[in-house]
Structure 1
Amino acid sequence: MKEEDFSAFLQLQEQEEEVFKRERYLERLKKRIKELDQSINEILEEQTILIAELNQIIEAIREEDQKVRRCKENLKRCQEKAKFVKKVEEYKALLRERAKNEDCIIKGEQTLKELRKKRKAIEDRLQDKDKKKKLKRMEEEKEELIKEREEVERELKQQMEKLELL
């Protein structure tokens, strides 16, 4: 084998090795980008679920608050009616209605307290600074890897063209 042929053969072999290395590296980059995508999507999905839960709780708070207001209005009316009641049966009925409304108010306010506590917990989870930092870091890493992948793909294309010329 001539020295020129041997040199060309070595050069060809080096180019093939370089192409192989770049292809493997490209596969690792793609795999890591896919993993980051998955992690980012999981965090975003969790946030979407939390926002949906938060909206449900806000709606429940609004409804419970209206219910408590109605009970308070009914209690006020019962107290006004009690001033003009003359029969014992009517008075007993008003007392039952009053007790029912007072119970409604107590239970409603307790429910509101629990709902507000849940809302606060969800809002805190949505404002989790560590999770926000992690998400931002993963998005930045993904952007860097995408740029690097594009660079490696461009280099790989150049290597393939060189290889074809040999």
Structure 2
Amino acid sequence: MSSMLSAELAATCSALGYFDSKAKKYFADSNTLEAVKDLIRYLRRDDSSHAIRRELGESMVLQTDLLPLLKCYWEETDLFDVLLRLIVNLTTPALILFDEEVPTDKTARNHYLQMEEHLQSYKEAFVDDDVWAVLSTKLSQILEIVNLLFFYSSAAD
């Protein structure tokens, strides 16, 4: 990966916000929504070596920024939606990204193993009860809406 692209990724990750350990709260930047969208765009442009995905894994952006943002700003629907899209994208199994075959080429295999290592660290980050509380609350809200739609459509019949 070029140093220019690496610098762009670092700047984009910095634009997400910061965690205040005293307040135990993540403070979003004014451009957080756009920064998350930019990270999604970067992943869309990723090459076959998955350099961008590996760089984001190395920076631990999921653990240090994305999950804390999700926990603190889950009520902001637009931000929550794009955050969830990015998190799902980053947690895509490495095997799927390599066409369901473990690479035999030495370099590609090292990239694969590096991505597997990042995925394992993501699993550790998802042990947080607060993340699951947010996800279950959002899922409950969605199910309530679906239930209401089903109720009203059944009543109309």
Q: Same fold (TM over 0.5)?
A: no
The structure with the largest alpha-carbon Rg is 1
Query: Larger RCO: Structure 1 or Structure 2 (Cα < 8 Å, ≥ 6 residues apart)?
Result: 1
Structure that is richer in strand per residue: 2
TM (norm. structure 2) is: 0.29
TM (norm. structure 1) is: 0.28
